[in-house]
Structure 1
Amino acid sequence: MTDTADLKTLEERALPGAADELPTPTHDRLEWTTAVFWVALAFSTFQVITAAFSPLSSQVVRSVHVGFVLLMVFLVHPGFTKGGAGAGMKALGWVLGLAGFATGLYQWVFEADLTQRAGDLTRADWVVGIVLLVLVFEAARRTMGIALPLICAIFLAYGLWGNHLPGPLMHRGYGADQIVGTLSFGTEGIYGTPTYVSSSYIFLFILFGAFLEQAGMIRLFNDFAMGTVGHTRGGPAKVAVVTSGLMGTINGSGVANVVTTGQFTIPLMKRFGYSSAFAGGVEATSSMGGQIMPPVMGAVAFIMAETIDVPYLEICKAAAIPAILYFITLFLMVHIE
């Protein structure tokens, strides 16, 4: 029973909502978990090796990175909806995931040919490019809902048929080959700056935070917060603020912060008489502040450093004072409440 509970906890931490799509603990579920483990291990190994030794070009690293992400998404979210996924849906998830990974391998194997063609797409390029676009849209829908893919689809349609619009909305028009070539094979589309930052920095920092979490850093943060502010007025809520702030130094994700620290701090606050709404609000607000707490901040900080060509250390210095003021204000609010 304990092993089953631990497995469910790990799955819920990995991706929110993923556990809802998984079957009850069975031999099939064990095989699924093992498959995800090995894919994640291969993904992590690839990222560490490319970061340490730089054996591949930036374009190849980006494409394989996206391929791994697509494979992971379709394994963790095998169904088209949030409901349970049967054997057929899981098999389809494998097919879609492997197809996404194959698009990354295609760019690796034919890197020289793609560079020489420089936008002159072959039939194989067309197939790979369109498959990649469709899979990215579907992966975004499964993980974030329909809003973002719908917005992207509108802008994609504008690129194709904007030359037929009246007045200032009209542009000279872009062919399908230009759009597929730019989005699927260039560094201004899917493999643009956000993907570069993700493959070069964000993944490694997330991996670093995961290692610290498994090494017991979360327990250390909780114990430190309990020992320093747990005995003061509003102690349980202050523990949530301090713990989330410390967690923010190693994990720039607000959602991950809530999942890891909230399972301890929210029940603690409720046991001391805080309402569920207040406990959840304190934890959510504290965890969101972790995104601006150096040295590991949200993905936007890494993209900012790359876009404006400023060292990430300078971004951390600029964020330090606002982050400290944020948590001091939250700490005082909890004390007054």
Structure 2
Amino acid sequence: MNYIANENRYDTMIYRRCGKTGLKLPAVSLGLWHNFGGVDDYDNAKAMVTRAFDLGITHFDLANNYGPPAGSAEETLGKILQTELKDYRDELIISTKAGYGMWPGPYGDFGSRKYLIASLDQSLKRLGVDYVDVFYSHRPDPETSIEETMMALDSIVRQGKALYVGLSNYDALQTSQALEVLKDLKTPIVLHQPAYSMLNRWVEHGLLDVNERAGIGTIIFQPLAQGVLTDRYLQGIPSDSRAASESVFLNEQDINDKRVNMVVQLNNIAKNRGQSLAQLAISWALRDERVTSALIGASRVAQIEDNVKALNHLSFSEEELTEIEAILQQNS
């Protein structure tokens, strides 16, 4: 049976403009970093993407190396686009990136013109689309000039392979330098994608200001701090959790008694607000209107449904913000 999108999908989702640009994004976007690779269950991936769209999530975020294996998350979304979302392409924002290691040799990593353009050509084939809506430089390259990397992004737009460009993991100074080049080129940059959460607040020390002055949006990843800011760790470390695994992104050192105590205190605030801890963390990250969208990850449909409910209660009282800040400072 062919998928038919929920006719009410736009009724409750909040859409925020990317700075002063013409592009709007849903306040919650879906990232395909984990659980959409070739080793994962395709039917579950399809169910998550279509349910997300039914909830008004129009933005799906990828990178060339998402999987595993690398490239397979793009292939998964490409299949879903062809079989389920073919009639809805113009309602979607599809983004991908290049900047981390993708293939052997000197031309498959970082930020050279050679790598970025070749990588996007591969991504378009895997996705089965003529263009992506946003193409990012995934990280700055210490050995390639910012001018070369930004000129490659400009070429990609002029070739019709992307509508907009973005930056990810650039610090405030690097972002300022990149934006200066892109402004001279008149390249349509719309977004910066950094990590940001209650436990990782580096963007508050300059980057958000840079993005605001430039008139671009900020879309954050890891708002739940790799699952730490959920009810997953309220009782310590479950044996089947990411922290207990061999994950390079989260381990037992990240979940200590001090952090568990903090999570418990934050969970109490969430309960008083009628939210889950995950919903509180997403609402908190979106409290600053300069944050355009929060990228969530998911392993099942229920997580997406739960996370989107954060939008039902985005406002905070001054007392709540003060209490949250005290908890975070106490455990910093």
Tell me whether the two structures share a fold, i.e. TM-score over 0.5: no
Highest RCO, 1 vs 2 (Cα 8 Å, sep ≥ 6): 2
Structure with the largest fraction of strand = 2
Select the structure of larger CA radius of gyration: 1
Q: Normalising by structure 2, report the TM-score.
A: 0.29
Structure with the largest fraction of helix = 1
Q: Normalising by structure 1, report the TM-score.
A: 0.29
